[in-house]
Structure 1
Amino acid sequence: MTEQTATPPDRLSVDPDSPFHDEAVLARGVGVRFKGVEKTNVEEYCVSEGWVRLSVGNTVDRRGRPMAVKLKGAVEPYFQDSARD
Structure 2
Amino acid sequence: MTDTTQAPPLPDHLSADPRSPHHVAAVFEHDIGIRFNGKDRTDVQEYCISEGWVKVPAGKTLDRKGQPLIIKLKGKVEAYYRQPE
> TM-score, normalized by length of structure 2?
0.83
Shift of residue 15, structure 1, vs aligned partner:
0.7
CA-based RMSD of the aligned residues comes to: 1.6
Shift of residue 13, structure 1, vs aligned partner:
0.4
**Structure 2 counterpart of 1:4, from 4, 7, 15:** 7
Shift of residue 58, structure 1, vs aligned partner:
2.2
SS at match of 2:10: coil
**Structure 2 counterpart of 1:44, from 46, 50, 59:** 46
Q: Structure 1: any 5+ residue segments left out of the alignment?
A: none
Paired residues, number: 80
Amino acid at match of 1:80: R
What are the equivalent positions in structure 2 for 1:22-61 lying under 5 Å apart? Answer: 22-61=24-63
Which ranges of 4 or more aligned residues in structure 1 deviate by more than 3 Å?
A: none
Provide the C-alpha distance between the structure 1 equivalents of 2:59 and 2:74, rounded to a whole number of angstroms: 19
Provide the C-alpha distance between the structure 1 equivalents of 2:31 and 2:66, rounded to a whole number of angstroms: 24
Q: Structure 2: any 5+ residue segments left out of the alignment?
A: 1-5
The C-alpha deviation readout for 1:2-39, integer Å capped at 9, x for no partner, is: x634x411010011110001111012121100000110
Shift of residue 77, structure 1, vs aligned partner:
0.5
Provide the C-alpha distance between the structure 2 equivalents of 1:67 and 1:27, rounded to a whole number of angstroms: 25
Identity %: 47
